[in-house]
Amino acid sequence: MNRMRWWGAWLLAAVSCTAWSDGQTFRIPTRPGVETSVYWEAQEGAQATVLLFPGGNGGYGKVVDGKPTSHNFLARSVALFLADGYNVAIFGLPSDTPALDYSDRVNPKHLGDVRAALDFVHGKSPAPVWLVGTSRGTISATYVAIGSVDDPNIAGLVLTSSVTAFKKEGAVPTQNLAALKLPVLVVHHASDACVICRPHEVDWIMKGLKNTPVKKLMMITGGGPASGDPCESYHYHGYIGQEKEVVDQIAAWMHHPAN
């Protein structure tokens, strides 16, 4: 048995022994002595899976009645992705840290944790996986996509409310975007007022995607009413009032990627 198949078999066996469940939540071994939480919910007949990377410090909050309680745009949109025909997985937090900071998301340890989570997801469903990040989660999704260029199970990358400020470690435009050779969708709100996610800087991402077979920018307008911190979930940064419209557009594009 080759190393990859051995790792996959060991991982599934370990999960079956150590997984705890609260609805569809699991803890899986990702590094020696480290477990990472993964939320999973299947949709009957799904042809693809979305692996979601929430923003902020990461994670998806507690799970109550089988649903994540985080207010993050992606976490609160689980039902919308399911309704559009996708299995949903959410990458949580590793047991050795209470939060994923910028530097943590461009660390080889993080790539290892996510790769183990991908193995777990592939064990749940053979459907191809789309990596979907929002805000700080776009750093993770981009880093993992670049580090997994040879994985045929990854269908593409979706970036929403991307971190664009060059001063932030791992900001999407600073990563090796030219290495990406899969479909990429970039979604941003024209009224996003978060200082590290300025709409006019999104063009740096599009310019960096030099070798993608398909790439598209969706600039969203409207929605609201916005409230609170402009970098948080209930402002335009989190597509407040337009969650269904935005997820439906993302889902439709993933079904049929086009420029």
State pLDDT tens for residues 180-197.
999 999 999 999 999 999
pLDDT > 80? residue 151? yes
pLDDT tens column, 117-142:
999 999 999 999 999 999 999 999 99
Secondary structure letter of residue 76 according to DSSP: G
How many CB atoms within 10 Å of residue 90? 30
Mean pLDDT on 11-32: 61
Burial level of 102, CB count in 10 A (0-12/13-18/19+)? middle
* Predicted local confidence at residue 4, as pLDDT: 40
pLDDT > 60? residue 13? no
pLDDT tens column, 83-99:
999 999 999 999 999 99
164 vs 219: CA distance, rounded Å: 15
Q: Which of 195, 203, 188, 184 is nearest to 238 (CA)?
A: 188
Q: What is the percent of the chain with per-residue pLDDT over 90, rounded to a whole number? A: 88
pLDDT > 60? residue 81? yes
**Domain CATH code at residue 143:** 3.40.50.1820
* Predicted local confidence at residue 60, as pLDDT: 95
* Predicted local confidence at residue 24, as pLDDT: 82
20 vs 32: CA distance, rounded Å: 18
Sheet holding 86-94, edge to edge: 25-31, 34-41, 86-94, 48-53, 129-134, 154-160, 184-189, 215-220
pLDDT > 80? residue 219? yes
Q: Which domain holds residue 29?
A: 3-255
* Predicted local confidence at residue 15, as pLDDT: 46
* Predicted local confidence at residue 11, as pLDDT: 45
61 vs 92: CA distance, rounded Å: 9
Which band of pLDDT confidence, cut at 50, 70 and 90, is reported for residue 152? very high
C-alpha angle 232-234-238 in degrees, rounded to nearest 5: 70
DSSP per-residue codes, 173-212: GGS-GGG--S-EEEEEETT---TTS-GGGTHHHHHH--S-
- Judged by average pLDDT, the poorest of 21-25, 71-75, 250-254 is 21-25
b vs e for 43-82, b when ≥16 Cβ sit within 10 Å of the residue's Cβ?
A: beebebbbbbbbbbebbbbebeeebbebebbbbbbbebbb
Please answer whether residues 34 and 197 qualify as being in contact, where contact means their C-beta atoms are separated by less than 8 angstroms: no
* Predicted local confidence at residue 184, as pLDDT: 98
Mean pLDDT on 235-245: 97
Q: How many domains does the chain have?
A: 1
pLDDT > 50? residue 172? yes
Question: What are the backbone angles phi and psi of residue 29, rounded to the nearest 5°?
Answer: -70, 130
